[in-house]
Amino acid sequence: MPLLEGKKALIFGVANHRSIAWAIAQAFAAEGASIALTYQERMEKYVRDLATRVPTAAVIPCDVQQDDQLDSAFAEAGEIFGGGLDILVHSVAYAPPSELENPFLETTRDGFHTALDISSYSLIAMAKRAKPLMQVRGGGSMLTLTYMASERVMPKYNVMAVAKAALECSVRYLAYELGEHNIRINAISAGPVNTLAARGISGFTGFREQMGHIAPLRRNIEQDEVGDAALFLCSDLARAITGDILFVDAGYNVMGAV
């Protein structure tokens, strides 16, 4: 039987075919899950085009900074999925470009607020709304995406690194509070992948090349490898895992200075 046969998954963060969220959606659909993808208004065309590649996929509009749109998105997902939800994927992150170009010392109050709101708080807002839908199903699994810059200095990642650190802390607190309801939550810390968001970071290409030489596996990772790890974490194979950060980076995180 497919790993996610009969499961209902709501996925936030698909922007285009290079998105990690799209790789996750493909992995889930291949293992029997029914999928709903959310989109921002400016990404609607790309998401709707991709959704045609997955027979069971639905599309739902949502701006994660708007509580009324989050309410509507989860209400619509509940209707699509017959009142329940098994899997939530949070693959959402953003900071104003200037905050990644300027020195970290020059981080603005507005830029800090935007980065933390979209990249970190949105997970809490989604989890709150997903909880009752997962309780209907007897439990569920939530997943978010993080990056090693939460622990180590990655020049030009700046306030986004702070947001990722907050995101990882949120995973632990949510794991504690949701565990009694048989709801698990984990994060994948992926290595640098060629996505739309990553290309907005100065020096990304050079760092990705460097990682390919330094990582124990002597290569970079691809989106589908993150998708496969997400499939594991959101399936019953990982039923005893929660509050964890799983590195999918060809082993780069274990290396010291080289």
Q: What is the pLDDT of residues 121-157, one digit of tens each?
A: 999 999 999 999 999 999 999 999 999 999 999 889 9
Query: Is 147:157 a contact under the CB 8 Å cutoff?
Result: yes
Among candidate residues 39, 46, 157, 252, the one labeled active-site is 157
* Number of Cβ within a 10 Å radius of residue 114: 18
Q: Can you give the pLDDT at residue 240?
A: 98
**Alpha helices, DSSP H only, in 39-121?**
44-51, 67-80, 97-101, 109-116
* Number of Cβ within a 10 Å radius of residue 56: 15
Per-residue pLDDT of the chain (258 residues), as tens digits, is 899 999 999 999 999 999 999 999 999 999 999 999 999 988 999 999 999 998 879 999 999 999 999 999 999 999 999 999 999 999 999 999 999 999 999 999 999 999 999 999 999 999 999 999 999 999 999 999 999 999 999 889 999 999 999 999 999 999 999 999 999 999 999 998 876 566 556 666 777 888 888 999 999 999 999 999 999 999 999 999 999 999 999 999 999 855
pTM of the model: 0.95
How far is 47 from 192, CA to CA, in rounded Å?
22
| Residue 94 appears among annotated catalytic residues | no
Q: What are phi and psi of 148, to 5 degrees?
A: -60, -15
| Residue 157 appears among annotated catalytic residues | yes
Among candidate residues 94, 147, 176, 252, the one labeled active-site is 147
Domains plus CATH for the chain?
Answer: 8-251 (3.40.50.720)
Contacts of 43 (CB under 8 A, 6+ apart): 14, 15, 16
